[in-house]
Structure 1
Amino acid sequence: MAVDSSSKPQPQPLLCWTVCGYRKPGMSEEDYHRTHPSRYLSENHGPLVRGLLAKHGFVSYTIRHNTTSTRSLMAHIFGPQFANIADYDAVITATFRDIESWVAFKGDPEYKVKIMPDHENFADTARSRMTIGWLEDHVWNGRVVDAPGKGQDKSRGEVENEWAENESKVAREKESAGWLSWLSWWRRFVI
């Protein structure tokens, strides 16, 4: 018998804040990204932000580094339909369940004192662009997943749960195999 999926409460899609960022004028690509010992975005700003985001219930925070080198890889990907290559230095995303999480993050005194002023150390805030939207996954962790409310394939959460269960099972099997190996070795001397 088919189950009416419309009667089940549907999960709300995650919201995603995206920044298409430029480094501040005069800052080299090497200083901005990981390729230089200063590694500002990865070594300074990322660690500064992530704890506060977690405190306010954010689901993820991701930095995508777009360098001259990685942009050159586009020659292998693009064609006549999409021929323009974005010149952003980074694309940063933060995902969260509701706008209240974002409001609480921006209202936190730590944000106002430490994080907001830090943007001036590396970001061209006049050129950088941002937007907000919701996430709709179609492939997650190598598996086809269903967008919220469709009821056909597995959701992202179900895929994550299966993956975690499989990892636990593998760990238990390895532990059992290790114990059995030790027991077999030990029995040679006792029996």
Structure 2
Amino acid sequence: MDPTKKYLCLNILGFKRNGITPEEFQDYMLNVHAPHVGGLLAQYGIVHWSMTHADDSTPELFNKIRDGLFSNLAPFDVCVTLVMPDIDTWIRFKEDDFFKKSVGPDHQRFADPTKSQMLLGWYQPLIKDGKLLISTGLDGAAAPAPGTVADAAAPVSAPVSETVPQV
């Protein structure tokens, strides 16, 4: 990704189709649907694509961090994250004949698109490969402009032991 450019991020918050297990849903998305659509996403300029799947174990895991600050577990089965240069990238992708004839209809096999929700906003990576990409405000380094991607080759480092000022 070009660190000087602003990128748009689409998060698809999806649900599995009734009648399939979380494991079947994840397996289909990763081993059938992803290979089916991946080349088309790359062809149209998607620069980052990932999936986060919930399963039967995640509610119990979430209970370990549940508190007054983090108290509501979202009901979605998957969060698909797609980062692109602009909205026209997504529009062109969805207008492709292969998407219309094959990729779009494939969703009916594993997902419930009627319940899916979308979050569209500006992509701002903050840590990459364990390296802080933003200024802590304590080291004098300038933070990247909002909506731009920090240069991963020149990460801003901050000691883990820094104390955060109380407001």
Whichever residue aligns with residue 152 of structure 1, its letter is A
Once the 2 structures are TM-superposed, how far is the Cα of residue 115 of structure 1 from its aligned partner? 0.5
CA contact (8 A) 2:125 2:150 kept: no
Once the 2 structures are TM-superposed, how far is the Cα of residue 51 of structure 1 from its aligned partner? 0.5
Instruction: Give the TM-score taking structure 2 as reference length.
Output: 0.78
Once the 2 structures are TM-superposed, how far is the Cα of residue 12 of structure 1 from its aligned partner? 3.3
Instruction: Describe how 1:1-191 pairs up with structure 2 within 5 A.
Output: 11-33=4-26, 39-146=27-134, 152-153=142-143, 156=149, 158-159=151-152, 161=153
Query: Whose Rg is larger?
Result: 1
- Per residue, is there more helix in 1 or in 2? 1
Q: Distance in 1 between matches of 2:21 and 2:126?
A: 36
Where relative contact order (Cα < 8 A, 6+ residues apart) is larger, the structure is 2
Q: Distance in 2 between matches of 1:146 and 1:72?
A: 32
Q: Distance in 1 between matches of 2:154 and 2:4?
A: 18
Q: Distance in 2 between matches of 1:135 and 1:127?
A: 24
Whichever residue aligns with residue 18 of structure 2, its letter is P
Unaligned runs of 5+ in 1: 1-9, 34-38, 164-191
- The one-character-per-residue Cα deviations of 1:135-167 (angstroms, maximum 9, x if unpaired) are 1222222122138xxx715785521x469xxxx
TM-align CA RMSD: 2.2
Taking a change above 3 Å as real, the CA distance of residues 156 and 132 of structure 1, as seen in their structure-2 partners, is closer
The equivalent residue for 1:174 is: none
Once the 2 structures are TM-superposed, how far is the Cα of residue 44 of structure 1 from its aligned partner? 0.8
User: What is the aligned residue count?
Assistant: 145
Whichever residue aligns with residue 48 of structure 2, its letter is S
Identity of aligned residues (%): 30
Whichever residue aligns with residue 77 of structure 1, its letter is I
Once the 2 structures are TM-superposed, how far is the Cα of residue 110 of structure 1 from its aligned partner? 0.8
Instruction: Give the TM-score taking structure 1 as reference length.
Output: 0.69
* Paired residue secondary structure (1:51): helix
Q: Distance in 2 between matches of 1:69 and 1:152?
A: 41
CA contact (8 A) 1:140 1:156 kept: no
* Paired residue secondary structure (1:158): coil
Unaligned runs of 5+ in 2: 136-140, 156-167
